[in-house]
């Protein structure tokens, strides 16, 4: 039988747990329904309930009921700030880059690739030093560079953006396309502006 999680910090047992905590803690003024968390992370509602109950027991999230809906938000706790900082730097690139690039025009798709995407997908290796972002579309380069700099500042690491055309994405044909598409890709945004 597996030992129970330590009572002082029963967190970060899985990527699902980290993804849910990242959503909640990186948006401290927002309340999330358990259904929203389950949908955004691809989890079952029962998994979302368990993970948020554990986080509430640890004191990093608070919850309230609104009718039959349970809403969770970041709690005011001595653990919340440091945990938020750890989540921002480790699991935050998906959320931060989506936030910074979501308002830009002429973007069909945004994907993370390279070492951060590989680690997120579960591949072992050294900690990523930067974040590699593939933008499919024809955005304004200056606007995109400013958004990448804001994201990098928030994440505490360099954000490198590569822009390619929709035709390049569909047709490929060069070594970079072959390399990028054979390794893990983490989708961030589609042309609807949604993750």
Q: What CATH number corresponds to the domain at position 128?
A: 3.30.460.10
- Asked if residue 3 is part of any domain, the answer here is no
Q: Tell me the pTM.
A: 0.83
Same domain for 68 and 131?
no
| 81 and 99 in a common domain | no
Is 161 among the domain residues? yes
Q: Which pLDDT tens digit goes with each residue over 58-108?
A: 899 999 999 999 999 999 999 999 999 988 988 899 999 999 999 999 999
Instruction: Give tens-digit pLDDT for 118-169.
Output: 988 888 888 889 999 999 999 999 999 999 999 999 999 999 999 999 999 9
pLDDT the model gives residue 190: 74
Question: What is the rounded CA–CA span in Å between residue 154 and residue 93?
Answer: 9
Q: Mean pLDDT over all residues of the chain? A: 90
pLDDT at residue number 2? 53
Indicate if 83 and 100 belong to the same structural domain. Answer: no
Q: Which of 64, 90, 116 is the last residue of a domain?
A: 90
Q: Using CA atoms, how far apart are residues 154 and 103, in angstroms rounded to an integer?
A: 17
Residue showing tokens 């930067």: 130
62/106 same-domain check: no
Instruction: Examine residue 2 and state whether it is found in any structural domain, yes or no.
Output: no
Number of folded domains that form the chain? 2
Same domain for 98 and 86: no
Cα gap 83→45, rounded to integer Å: 24
Place of tokens 């938020």: 84
What pLDDT is recorded for position 62?
Answer: 97
Structure tokens that stand for 143 in this block? 């606007």
Indicate if the pLDDT at residue 4 is higher than 90: no
CATH number at residue 44: 1.10.10.10
Which tens digits make up the pLDDT trace of 36-72? 999 999 999 999 999 999 999 989 999 999 999 999 9
Domain containing 160: what range?
93-190
Same domain, 46 and 32: yes
Is 193 a residue whose pLDDT tops 70? no
Residues 99 and 180 occupy one common structural domain: yes
Q: Say if 10 falls within a structural domain.
A: no
Do residues 86 and 97 share a domain? no
Residues 131 and 153 in one domain: yes
Q: Look at strands 130-137 and 69-74 and give their pairing.
A: unpaired
Q: Are residues 106 and 83 in the same domain?
A: no
100 shares a domain with 75: no
Are 100 and 171 found together in one domain?
Answer: yes
Last residue of a domain, one of 66, 90, 114: 90
**Residue 98 maps to a domain:** yes
């Amino acid at each position: 039988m597996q030992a129970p999680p330590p009572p002082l910090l029963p967190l970060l047992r899985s990527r699902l747990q980290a993804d849910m905590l990242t959503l909640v803690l990186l948006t401290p003024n927002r309340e999330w329904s358990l259904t929203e968390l389950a949908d955004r992370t691809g989890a079952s509602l029962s998994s979302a309930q368990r993970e948020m109950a554990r986080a509430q027991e640890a004191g990093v999230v608070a919850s309230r009921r609104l009718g039959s809906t349970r809403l969770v938000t970041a709690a005011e706790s001595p653990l919340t700030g440091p945990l938020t900082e750890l989540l921002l730097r480790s699991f935050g690139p998906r959320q931060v880059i989506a936030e910074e690039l979501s308002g830009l025009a002429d973007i069909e798709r945004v994907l993370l690739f390279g070492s951060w995407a590989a680690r997120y997908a579960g591949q072992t290796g050294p900690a990523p030093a930067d974040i590699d972002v593939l933008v499919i579309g024809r955005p304004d380069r200056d606007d995109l560079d400013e958004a990448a700099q804001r994201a990098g500042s928030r994440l505490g690491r360099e954000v490198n953006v590569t822009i390619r055309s929709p035709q390049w994405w569909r047709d490929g044909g060069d070594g970079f396309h072959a390399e990028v598409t054979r390794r893990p890709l983490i989708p961030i945004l589609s042309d609807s502006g949604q993750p």
